[in-house]
Amino acid sequence: MGATRLEMGIVHPGKRGAGQDGAGGLAIGPGTGPLGWNPPAERSPAMSAAQAREPNPATQLDAVVVGAGFAGLYLLHRLRGMGLSARIYEAAGGVGGTWYWNRYPGARCDVESMQYSYQFSEELQQEWEWTERYSGQPEILRYLEHVTDRFDLRRDIEFNTRVQSAVYDEAASRWQIETQGEGEGEGGRHALSAKYFVMATGCLSSANTPDFEGLDDFAGNTYHTGRWPHHEIDFAGRRVCVIGTGSSAVQSIPIIAEQASELHVFQRTPNYSIPARNGPLDPDEVRALKARYAEFRAEARAEGFGIVNPFPLPPDQDPEYVPSPEELEAMLERNWEYGGLTFLNGAPGLVVLPELNELAAGFVRKKIRDVVDDPEIAKLLSPHTPVGCKRLCVDTHYFETYNQPHVHLVDISGSPIEKITPAGVQVGGQEYPCDDLVLATGFDAMTGALFGVDIRGRGGLALNEKWAEGPRTYLGLATRGFPNLFIVTGPGSPSVLSNMVQSIEQHVEWIADCVGYMEEKGLERIEAEANAEEQWGAQVNEIADQTIFPSCNSWYLGANIPGKPRVFMPFLGFADYAAICDEVVANAYEGFELA
Ligand code: NAP
């Protein structure tokens, strides 16, 4: 199957070319938008002042985009480049999305910088200099701020403004949208009307705060990794409790441990983690890579995870090849030394063959035993689920941290947190005192942010009602009953099981091309067909069922949120997915009704 490797070998060299920087490519020029929209330079100040005084009639736009992260920024750039009036509404005070909110100590991307960046602009990818193999949050945020200014996006972004509701008006074939901002309109509310409504709200943006009894009564400071304050937090000399051991915890725990006088980590489920082996980028290597950047990006697009595999099998290798245990061991040792997510995609078959996966899982467990001094702690830190089934973590000295005498692991797998007391965390009748409480408890992934807006489609159907049994989409881009609503990296698309930036660009380009097609043909509506949606859901599941992914309690399945329906949400296989999306377009938007 095409979930993990380059089976299809599909590369679309013609897909990003002239016009991808927003210079054109579509027959819609500035000022010729279907609503007779004025160019932004003439429009912005005067119009927003008028709108602030007069909330009705609604501001008319071609497209409203929710969220100013990687997705929203690029989409705004593309839509404006097509001569459409588009605006981003963003709840935060700045751009960045994930990288705006996740400022916890050690926050860093575990896809390498040279890949976790936009490729739509050759100039941008040539001029920007990453400093480390894996970028830290401040550097990624600086990059996104640079992109915002370089492409003059800021003037069409409304910050500190939350989109409250979006209701599809069938008679007008438009979305009627309400926002809540700072001081615009009456009581900060503002009405918008747009032909296209795009949720670019990210997959991991709705922070999950478990309903711990007594949480509000905690006398110290409480932080959530996904909503970290903007000011420096100093844990020096403080007793800290961290709840959770996912990626955010694995990154922050070693740094918090450096400062805290005492650290208790509350672990419900242990996680596999691979050393990042981060370090400064070698300027010569960067230069060499930039000289063939387009080729390098194409290699990534041809991969199942959308990430270049530094250890590809020879092209003439039998596609059914399964390494012997000895060959696998050698590959895993090499991948471990290389560091990061390559551990999973640098050896064939790990996500499809459980017996092979178990060998890899045993390999990591042995590494944990090698690193952690206390055998009991090593045992507690060793997962028994398939490796990669829950999102693989990437760390710098995570397991080593537990060798420090002031760091304590509290196993809560059999005895959940009873309550948060004013003085600390209580488990099994014992109170663990702390001055600061860090919730590294993750997100309501993939659907949480979408349900954060009251979205109502045809007949007033609410999105969360339609998805009560789990998300249903066509291509992860659209859902029936909600015409002209697009979701960037929605459930049913590769999203979180791929290089997010690459998946975002692919979606943004698909959406922009689709909008261009509709405008060119004078169409009013595009909507997923019921059949196409049903078949897509079945296909997403069928592929996932051939892998280890649905076999454990992960957030990919919604298992981390009490009461959330268990549906495997990502589509496995970026290259296959992108080829399907292209085919849908080549067949005049097969699976969609256009009117
Ligand atoms: P996460 O992986 O969902 O981890 C949340 C942790 O909190 C888990 O250990 C979970 O335990 C625990 N938890 C949740 N509710 C709990 C409760 N009621 N009681 C006790 N423990 C509880 O969240 P995350 O670490 O924020 O990471 C989410 C995703 O964001 C990652 O998987 C990754 O995709 C992305 N991320 C990426 C990076 C990066 O690029 N380096 C960094 C951070 C995050 P259970 O496992 O038992 O549910």
Three-state DSSP string of 306-350: CCCCCCCCCCCCCCCCCCCHHHHHHHHHHHHHHCCCHHHHCCCCC
- How far is it, in rounded angstroms, from Cα 535 to Cα 453? 27
Q: What does the DSSP 8-state code read for residue 559?
A: T
Q: Please give the model's pTM, rounded to 2 decimal places.
A: 0.91
Residue nearest to atom 2 of ligand 1 (CA): 246
Longest dimension (CA), the chain: 72
Task: Compute the distance from residue 245 Cα to the ligand 1 centre, in Å.
Answer: 6
How far does the centroid of ligand 1 lie from the alpha carbon of residue 199, in Å? 23
Predicted confidence band of residue 26 (pLDDT cuts 50, 70, 90): very low
Find the residues whose C-beta lies inside 6 A of ligand 1: 108-110, 204, 210, 225-226, 243-249, 251, 268-269, 391, 394, 412, 417, 440-443, 496, 555, 560
| Mutate-to-test residue for ligand 1 from 132, 139, 248, highest number of ligand atoms within 8 A of CB | 248
Atom of ligand 1 nearest to the CA of 107: 42
- Quote the pLDDT of residue 16: 25
Ligand 1 pocket mutation pick from 391, 395, 419, 425 by most atoms within 8 angstroms of CB: 391
> Which of ligand 1's atoms lies nearest the C-alpha of 394?
41
* Interval between CA 271 and ligand 1 midpoint (Å): 10
Nearest protein Cα to ligand 1, atom 26: 442
What is the whole-number distance in angstroms between the Cα of residue 174 and the centre of ligand 1?
A: 38
* Structure tokens given for 112: 């390498």
Return the best residue to mutate from 398, 500, 560 for the ligand 1 pocket (most ligand atoms within 8 A of CB).
560
Per the omega criterion (within 30 degrees of 0), is the bond before 57 cis?
yes
Q: Mean pLDDT, to the nearest integer, of 565-592?
A: 97
For a substitution probing ligand 1, which of 441, 443, 554 has the most ligand atoms within 8 Å of its CB? 441
What 8-state DSSP symbol labels residue 186? B
- Give distance in angstroms: CA of 175 to centre of ligand 1: 35
Q: Is it the case that residue 299 has pLDDT exceeding 60?
A: yes
Q: CB atoms < 10 A from the CB of 136, how many?
A: 18
Query: Ligand 1 centroid vs 246 CA: distance in angstroms?
Result: 4
**Ligand 1 centre distance from Cα of residue 205 (Å):** 12
pLDDT over 60 (residue 281): yes
CA distance 298 to 56: 48
Q: Does the pLDDT of residue 121 top 80, yes or no?
A: yes
CB contact at 8 A, 303 and 573: no
Beta-carbon count within 10 A of 374 CB: 12
Decide if pLDDT at 3 tops 90: no
**Measuring from atom 34 of ligand 1, which residue has the nearest CA?**
391
Residue in 108, 215, 242, 247 to alter for ligand 1 test, most ligand atoms within 8 A of Cβ: 247
Judged against a pLDDT cut of 90, whether residue 186 lies above it is answered with no
Nearest CA to ligand 1 atom 6: 244
Q: Is 418 helix (H, G, I), strand (E, B) or coil?
A: strand
Region 479-497: mean pLDDT is 98
CA of 247 to the centre of ligand 1 (A): 6
Residues 576 and 2: beta-carbon distance below 8 Å: yes
Q: How far is the CA of 207 from the centre of ligand 1 (A)?
A: 10
* 440 alpha carbon – ligand 1 mean position (Å): 6
Task: Tell me how far the alpha carbon of residue 463 lies from the centroid of ligand 1, in angstroms.
Answer: 26
CA distances from 281 to 34, 57, 135, 369, 502 (A): 47, 53, 10, 31, 21
Ligand 1 centre to CA of 146 (Å) is 29
Q: Is the pLDDT of residue 254 over 70?
A: yes
- State residue 57's pLDDT score: 67
Task: Give distance in angstroms: CA of 441 to centre of ligand 1.
Answer: 5
Integer angstrom CA distances of residue 181 from 89, 164, 178, 270, 449: 9, 10, 10, 41, 18
Residue nearest to atom 15 of ligand 1 (CA): 441
pLDDT of residue 13: 22
- Distance, CA of 583 to CA of 83 (rounded, Å): 26
Ligand 1 atom, smallest distance to 108 CA: 41
Q: What is the DSSP string of 32-90?
A: --TT-PPPHHHHHHHHHHHHHH---SPEEEEEEEE--SHHHHHHHHHHHHTT--EEEE-
Distance 527 CA to ligand 1 centre (A): 34
Please provide the average confidence, as pLDDT, over all residues in the chain: 90
Share of the chain above pLDDT 90, in %: 88
- List, for residues 345-374, the tens digit of each pLDDT value: 999 999 999 999 999 999 999 999 999 999
Which residue's CA is the nearest one to ligand 1's atom 32?
391
Q: What confidence category does residue 188 fall into, taking pLDDT thresholds of 50, 70 and 90?
A: confident
Q: Please, is 454 exposed, middle or buried when counting C-beta atoms within 10 Å of its C-beta (0-12, 13-18, 19+)?
A: middle
Taking the centre of ligand 1 as the mean of its atom positions, its distance from the CA of residue 248, in whole angstroms, is 6
Structure confidence at residue 44 (pLDDT)? 36
Nearest CA to ligand 1 atom 18: 210
Return the pLDDT at 19: 26
CA distance 130 to 146: 13
Half-sphere exposure of 404 (CA within 13 A, CB side): 20
Q: Which atom belonging to ligand 1 lies closest to the Cα atom of 269? A: 47
CB contact at 8 A, 511 and 198: yes
Q: Which residue has the higher pLDDT, 359 or 1?
A: 359
What's the CA-to-centroid distance between 244 and ligand 1, angstroms?
Answer: 6
Q: How far is CA 330 from CA 226, 308, 333, 335, 382, in A?
A: 37, 20, 5, 9, 21
Residue to probe by mutation, ligand 1, list 268, 277, 438, most atoms within 8 Å of CB:
268
Residues 6+ apart with CB under 8 A from 587: none
- The ligand 1 atom at the shortest distance from the C-alpha of residue 442 is 23
Please tell me the distance from the alpha carbon of residue 234 to that of residue 256, in angstroms, as a whole number. Answer: 9
CB 444 within 8 A of CB 203: no
Query: Would the pLDDT of 467 be above 60?
Result: yes
